[in-house]
Amino acid sequence: MIQPRTQTAAYWGSDFTLTESDIEQIYNHFIEEERPQTVEQIARGIMAYHVAEEANNVRRLLSGRTVYQPEASYEVGTELVFPVLDFAHGTVQDIRSGYNPQDGYFQVIKVEIDGTVREFATELKSDHRLNVEDGSGFEALANVDLDQLFALYGDVVQEKVSEALEAHDEFVRLRDVWFVKQLMAEVNIGHLHLTEAILEMHNGGPLTTEELAPQLDMDSGLDQEVLLFSLNYHLLMDDRFDEVAPKGEVAWFLRRMEPEGVLQTPPRIAYRSIPYDRALLSPQLHLLERELDDEWSDLEAPPGVHPVVFTLLFPHRHAGTIPLSARIRPLFPASNSPRQRIILIDDETEEEIIGWVVQEDRYIYGLADWYDKHSIPVGGFVHLKPGPEPGVVSLGYDRRRDKKEWIRLATAVDNRIQFELKRRAVGCGFDDLMIVGTDTIAAIDALWRRAESHQRSVASLLAEIFPQLAGLNPQSTVHAKTLYSALNMLRRVPPGPMFAELVRHPAFQPVGDHYWKFVQNRWQDGN
């Protein structure tokens, strides 16, 4: 049987590259189609092209020649082709007799192939896998299942297509869609200015390209697909516009009309990376880190999309944001857009809240009014679950009647943070280990700014916070979750660096179940 090379993993493996002939084929395909193509469409076309080229080459090699078969008889001068030798071909030069005990008597032909004389058995009486009808197996080349071939090797070919087209200036790309520059519709500066004015009239947007295009007085005779691709491409290249739709959709917003907390990361949630030795963390601390699910803990997102309950941390309560953590990320699928406009729907009132996903800095902005309206405390449980469509998420909390609770309240005295227990009405379910409030936000903010300006270390902040929190507990112990929540009032710190300091420094002593004690004289000795 003829083994088509284009149906093997070796052919489409990591060494596969697109040739200039492939690039020309892609270019000509665009000229014929006159419309944008996805990388999948292009990859399928390239694979079909290679399969067809192999079939044509085999036809050429077989034309006027005989496929070598061990059972057949040949004369001097016969032109043979050998499929198992990559369709090498040659002419029979001589014939002699041969014999072996297994096959008995047979003939041996000498064939010159590329200047080298090789010998092959003929007139064999025994079965041989090369004994097929002349040209048999060609059907495997002529009737390739391209869908199956793409399923096996399509991912590799798509990657190679993207790499190759990136290297050629005549091609342009929007996400996974490609086109040729010379076929694009004209989009001039006037069209872009008019787009800005239209978006401004709509409070910044969002408007889809389909909604914008009819208002721009563009050539109505253009193919709609070409027009939309061209407009999207030019809007993407212009800093005035942001593409803010969920993955798989396109919608535009006027960047200067986006909220300040979207254009600039709120300072309270901005994280400067803190180097630390993760080997210090025990398996139990790793489990606690996963439970806390901080957005700056490098945790793997769980498979699938599931409802999430997270505990509100002081920086996010202060900034009106939701952490884009490992468990929360799947609710907001990654997009090529740095900023994504979404809708959060209150699960009880059905009020719609506009939110903004900022992927790079790992937060969702726009919850300040909702947090204030429902008096969600630091340490309160907030619920998220998938909405009815992409870009929509259901939002809620543990609603209950207001009840007086003992909670930790932070104050500032002599430029240092202090904590006391006071009764406050709480109308939301909460984690009692993480609930921390304050009646003096401005004073706590001043402490935060002071800590930032002095670049205080995690250890020094823990040494300030720990004795204050320990004084609220008869055992003078503090849970790691409480330390984490309180520490984040003065500096944005994920659990990992804090846990490492607790383990590393002799002043902090574990007493079990994630509770710790602070030994003051060891702190002095260690510093």
Tens-place pLDDT, residues 342-352 = 999 999 999 99
Predicted confidence at residue 526, as pLDDT, reads 47
How buried is residue 114: exposed, middle or buried, by Cβ count under 10 Å (0-12/13-18/19+)? exposed
3-state secondary structure of 12: coil
Sheet of 177-180, strand order = 37-38, 177-180, 171-174
Sheet of 66-67, strand order = 66-67, 79-82, 88-100, 104-113, 116-122
Strands 104-113 and 392-397: unpaired
Report CA 478 to chain centroid distance, whole Å. Answer: 38
Predicted confidence at residue 197, as pLDDT, reads 95
What is the amino acid identity at position 66? T
pLDDT tens-digit readout, 369-380: 999 999 999 999
267 vs 526, higher pLDDT: 267
Predicted confidence at residue 2, as pLDDT, reads 58
Residues 154 and 147: their CA atoms lie apart, in Å, by 9
Q: How confident is the model at residue 63 (pLDDT cuts 50, 70, 90)?
A: low
Residues 491 and 451: their CA atoms lie apart, in Å, by 7
Mean pLDDT across the chain, nearest whole number? Answer: 88
- Decide if pLDDT at 325 tops 60: yes
Which tokens go with 155?
A: 């991912």
Contact 409/486 with Cβ under 8 angstroms? no
Q: Is the torsion defined by CA of 494, 496, 502, 505 positive or negative?
A: negative
Which tokens go with 487?
A: 């520490």
pTM above 0.75, yes or no: yes
Domains present along the chain, CATH in parentheses: 5-61+141-178 (no CATH), 70-131 (2.40.10), 184-257 (1.10.10.10), 296-400 (2.40.330.10), 404-526 (no CATH)
Residues 459 and 292: their CA atoms lie apart, in Å, by 20
Gyration radius of the chain's alpha carbons: 35
Cα end-to-end distance, the chain, whole Å: 79
Predicted confidence at residue 198, as pLDDT, reads 95
Segment 47-58 shows an average pLDDT of: 82
Strands 363-365 and 88-100: unpaired
Query: Three-state SS string across 60-102, please?
Result: HHHCCCEECCCCCCCCCCCEEEEHHHCCEEEEEEEEEEEEECC
Q: Which of 131-140, 488-497, 514-523 has maximum average pLDDT?
A: 488-497
Contact 420/408 with Cβ under 8 angstroms? yes
CB count within 10 Å of CB 166 equals 11
Q: Which of 42-56, 57-71, 104-118 has the lowest mean pLDDT?
A: 57-71
Segment 523-527 shows an average pLDDT of: 61
Predicted confidence at residue 135, as pLDDT, reads 47
Contact 110/92 with Cβ under 8 angstroms? yes
**Half-sphere exposure of 509 toward its Cβ, with a 13 Å CA cutoff?**
13
- Decide if pLDDT at 112 tops 90: no
Identify which of 278, 260, 318, 338 has the alpha carbon closest to the alpha carbon of residue 492: 318
